[in-house]
Amino acid sequence: LPVPQGIVEEVRQSAQLMLNQLIQQLRTNLPLPACLRVIGFLRRMDVLTEAELRVKFLQARDAWLRSTHASIPDHDPYVHITKTIEACRVHLFDIVTQYRAIFSDEEPLVPAEAPAEGAIFHGWVLQKVSEFLRTLQRDLDRGVGGRLDSLLGQCMYFGLSFSRVGVDFRGQLAPLFQRVAADAFARAVEEAVEKFREEMNSYTLISAPAVLGGGVAVPVPAAQPGTLQPPMVLLDFPPLACFLNGLLVAFNDLRLCCPVALAQDVTACLDSALGEVTKTILAFHRAEEAAFSGREQELFTQFCTAFLEDLLPYLNRCLQVLFPPAQLAQALGEISAFG
């Protein structure tokens, strides 16, 4: 009969409209009481299985979460990632709280042989964490300036807050920040080596090097004021002073985010740089040796002595400040205990 069929169709359409409107409400900034009411209505409609209801809930809340992320300005990497951290920490935690209040996984509503419904939520949370880590890596690669330590603190707080709901991802943060810190240090050291080459290309040995060297500024590392004063003799040799200046800039930047795990990479990078510097000094000697006067030969010997007996020991002390031997020994002891 057409009339009953029309009524049935209208009822079906009305039910579908109500379903869509309820799900649409979940795509907004909805507090927990409102979420409970919406899910209660959906359950009474009895059109979705428990698993489907969970999926619909997470899909709708995820759509709202994505909309909040899309509204974050993307022009500045540091601003973007800090606002993303704040949005994820607050909103994602709210969604987790809402889900756990609405759906209880302690008493499964499906037979034991059916897929565990808790895996739906677990998989979604892992996806959100992975997405955040990808965003973090992208913004780190774009560059956050000298604010790596601040960003690390915010990320660690984010991970700590999620440990309360069993989603502690702090262990996955270390490799990201470690790589960025190592890359930044390597770039700074490479720039210092290149600057040294440029200085040596135009360098000439003179009888009173201290006069020219006096204008080269060498910053003192802030790690231990007064105990790591750079060797003043390096001021007599501008290329060495300039090289040390570049390395100290690299050390000071690294000090802000300097995990013990970087000790080997930093040492290897510095060793390679010193090898390049040695080659440059040797090339300078080969090119200029034939024209050396007795005084210039003496000054070149002093140049090499300052490099070997002043610059290198000072760099070693800097490394010991960045990576205290006792701290390294403790870390190696803990590793061997697990090994």
Q: What is the pLDDT of residues 9-65, one digit of tens each?
A: 666 666 677 778 888 888 988 899 999 998 888 888 888 888 888 999 999 999 999
Listed residue (82, 81, 78, 86) closest to 145, CA to CA: 78
pLDDT value of position 225 = 44
pLDDT value of position 218 = 44
pLDDT value of position 52 = 87
Listed residue (104, 98, 125, 96) closest to 36, CA to CA: 98
pLDDT value of position 116 = 62
pLDDT value of position 84 = 95
State the residue for tokens 């070693």. Answer: 316
Regions in the chain scoring below 50 on pLDDT: 106-114, 207-208, 210-226, 338-339
pLDDT value of position 215 = 41
pLDDT value of position 30 = 87
pLDDT value of position 47 = 82
Instruction: Please write the tens of the pLDDT for every residue from 262-286.
Output: 999 999 999 999 999 999 999 999 9
| Domain ranges for the chain | 2-168, 183-338
pLDDT value of position 187 = 94
pLDDT value of position 326 = 87
Listed residue (141, 247, 143, 158) closest to 195, CA to CA: 247
